[in-house]
Amino acid sequence: MGISYNQEARVFRLDTPGSTYLISLVDEMGFVCHAYYGRKIPDDNMNYLLRVNPQFLPFRESGQQTNVLDELPLEYPCHGLGDFRESCLRVETEEGHRVCGLTYLSHKIYGGKPALPGLPATHGGQEDCATLELRCRDEALGLEVSLLYTAFENLDVICRSARIENCGDRPLRLTAALSACLDMDNRSFDLITLHGSWAYERMINRRPLSWGKQGVSSRRGISSHQEQPFLALAERDANQSHGQVYAMHFVYSGNFIAQAEMRQQELVRVVMGIDTESFGWKLGPGESFQTPEAVLAYSSTGLDGMTHALHDLYRRHLTRGPWRDKPRPSLVNNWEATYFDFDSDKLLDIARTAAGRGIEMLVLDDGWFGCRNTDDNSLGDWFVNEKKLPGGLKRLADEINKLGMKFGLWVEPEMVSPDSELFRAHPDYALQIPGRSPMLSRTQLVLDLSREEVRRCVYDQLHKVLSSANIEYVKWDMNRSLTDVAGFCLEADRQGELFHRYVLGVYDLQERLLHDFPDLLLENCASGGGRFDPGMLYYSPQIWTSDNTDAIDRLRIQEGTALIYPLSTMGAHVAACPSHTNGRVTPFETRGLVSLPGCFGYELDLTKLTGEELDMIPGQLENYRKYGPVFHGGDYYRLASYGENQEYDALMAVSKDKRVAVVDYVHVMSRQQRRSVLLALRGLDEEKRYRSSESGEIRSGAGWMYGGLLLPTMKGDFLGKLIVLEEV
């Protein structure tokens, strides 16, 4: 078991294959201190790192109590007693007092990992992980907090969350309930975050950690296009394959804060959790609040180590269901092909062309329901528009099935259009404040999914639709941020709970869906990648990466996404050209190469392709069939970044048994008289011998890695090549 307690030293020890995490109980008060996190060490007692001046202990008798608390590295800091840095837990009493401090009460260590009720979370059995529950208490408040830590046996990952219980007899109000804190000394850290905007998600940003507070957050009700609930501290000289990296990633899909703070003595505090500004939670006597989970990953082998730990964790211990490990079907989606302008005949034309080339599924996107021919009506009216689809979804799905293809469907269950039967019947179902007209976005409002009757109304409709035909895939969309966040049914002192209750409502709906349709392949989406987070991955093994389908823009978007998410989670389609996003013209082949590593599909009118383009499809699908499993299940390496060099892009995946490696190279901008590009490969077995599909040359893994792979010289822009190395 990777967790133990040294009673003499009063130290909890959490071990993963390459890291050690030590928690120390300090003073007879039992402060729960963070003693060490980093490369694996045999020592238990590392208390010298805490730098507590012995003269200041015992704490109660010390005249310097605030000096102790303000510099003590703590596991779950509170507020108002002398630690003036960011706190994880903030509590207000009925009298309005705002002070809280936790000390050790008891603990439990056991194999496996408990589920977090109503929340997405990583999972693992006795053989995969061990859990420590550290119970702490604030005597004066009658408040108890269980800090949960799970250490994974085969991954350098520790997952944390907190359960907060009001054990007193008077109500308390939580004004902050974060999930994790990491106190450390600065070691010339860089801060890495992913920022973006609609159609330009997850751009990698790396800058030196500086004084004060810095970080990212969302208050949009979704994790957002703009910020990712992730941050990493990397030693300044850390690169892809060298140096120490500490990452935190939040398994949650709503408002969040991810913040690093550097203060006096270069003390660094990293915190992650539900955003505090938009949060409040009333905790009655006997009630408890479970925070979502934060994932901590440690790497001593640079960004590769962090990426691999997160990829493996999400593939094995976060995603669930029959589609987790199965090859995902190639598909054609009609959105960029037709937008709202389609009928059964048009869809069947596309399907016939697709089936003839071997595409496995047709996905019917927005516009099949109510009277929706534009985006300003009908959300909430989940019944089929028979004018467009005579005979309903059943007839269409049957026809598509007859072609040997699966049928998938788009829905947007969280929304309501003011121009809809649902809104006319139940205007109070939408989030809004009486006396204030709610803000529209894409002419739609957000349903108050914190209410069970609203969820039931939407779910019953969905259930009926999905039972009406052979629908094997659902794309669950969500196309606006939350505003006017007020609930008709919540008391005034609980309105601050609504953002979180909304997210719990979304989770509840998706859980019901998976329960009732266990074989369904669910893909999440939020105007592209507006809710691409580990929380959603618990429900759907894949997410639509971005509404930006231009192959060249996608290079950077997918690079940032793949830094922390497995390629098997990224929806990636060969889209129409000139690009509907930016008008760029790129070769069909290159669009295929850029989409290949993800969940591969087409998003254009296949009936309008040239014969030459149509002829390329079977080859692209064959590559997806052969190498999709290597991209999706193997180890990913970023070899070159177009975002950095402005010239070319290259990624590589190596199968877990190291017998096959695939290099996906895109030559973006030609440069005059460039010598051929040399790529130092990674992740191969030094001893094995591999043949290159490009040159036919056979070389050792060591040769390909330390000598490198010479790429073919290419004339022209936006070209590319797939190179496969297979063991001989």
Mapping DSSP to helix (H, G, I), strand (E, B) and coil, where does residue 373 land? coil
Closer residue to ligand DGJ (CB): 64 or 374: 374
Closer residue to ligand DGJ (CB): 280 or 529: 529
How far apart are alpha carbons 217 and 254 in whole angstroms?
10
Smallest separation, CB 410 to ligand DGJ (Å) = 5
Closer residue to ligand DGJ (CB): 603 or 613: 603
What are residue 158's DSSP bridge partners? Answer: 151, 296
| CB 314 within 8 Å of CB 565 | yes
Neighbours of 189 (CB within 10 A): 25
DSSP letter (8 states) at residue 357: H
Closer residue to ligand DGJ (CB): 479 or 623: 479
Handedness of CA 513, 515, 517, 523 (dihedral sign): positive
Smallest separation, CB 478 to ligand DGJ (Å) = 9
How far apart are alpha carbons 89 and 97 in whole angstroms?
14
Give the pair of three-digit tokens for residue 645: 């060099």
Smallest separation, CB 409 to ligand DGJ (Å) = 11
Closest CA to 178 of 259, 106, 94: 259
Closer residue to ligand DGJ (CB): 388 or 667: 388
Mapping DSSP to helix (H, G, I), strand (E, B) and coil, where does residue 415 land? strand
Give the active site residue among 15, 275, 312, 477: 477
Please report, as a single letter, which amino acid is at residue 721.
K
For 492-532, the DSSP string reads: GGGGGGHHHHHHHHHHHHHHHHHHHSTT-EEEE-BTTBTT-
Smallest separation, CB 365 to ligand DGJ (Å) = 5
Mapping DSSP to helix (H, G, I), strand (E, B) and coil, where does residue 197 land? strand
| CB 717 within 8 Å of CB 688 | no
Closer residue to ligand DGJ (CB): 204 or 474: 474
Smallest separation, CB 569 to ligand DGJ (Å) = 15
| CB 553 within 8 Å of CB 581 | yes
Closer residue to ligand DGJ (CB): 407 or 648: 407
Give the pair of three-digit tokens for residue 348: 């069947």
Closest CA to 124 of 314, 341, 262, 302: 314
First to last CA, the chain: 39
Closer residue to ligand DGJ (CB): 371 or 702: 371
How far apart are alpha carbons 72 and 84 in whole angstroms?
11
Residues near ligand DGJ (CB under 6 A) are: 335, 365-366, 410, 477, 479, 525, 527-528, 544, 547
Give the active site residue among 27, 547, 550, 649: 547
Closer residue to ligand DGJ (CB): 132 or 520: 520
| CB 496 within 8 Å of CB 276 | no
Smallest separation, CB 145 to ligand DGJ (Å) = 39
What are residue 289's DSSP bridge partners? Answer: 164
Mapping DSSP to helix (H, G, I), strand (E, B) and coil, where does residue 138 land? strand
What is the side-by-side order of every strand in the sheet holding 19-26?
3-6, 11-15, 19-26, 31-39
Q: Which residues of 333-360 are buried (b: 16+ CB within 10 A; e: fewer)?
A: bbbbbbeeebebebbbebbbbbbebbbb
Smallest separation, CB 317 to ligand DGJ (Å) = 28
Closer residue to ligand DGJ (CB): 191 or 525: 525
Handedness of CA 595, 599, 605, 611 (dihedral sign): positive
Smallest separation, CB 89 to ligand DGJ (Å) = 37
How far apart are alpha carbons 634 and 653 in whole angstroms?
6
Smallest separation, CB 475 to ligand DGJ (Å) = 6
Neighbours of 727 (CB within 10 A): 17
Smallest separation, CB 375 to ligand DGJ (Å) = 6
* Position closest to ligand DGJ via CB: 366
* Active site annotation includes 547: yes
Active-site annotation, residues: 477, 547
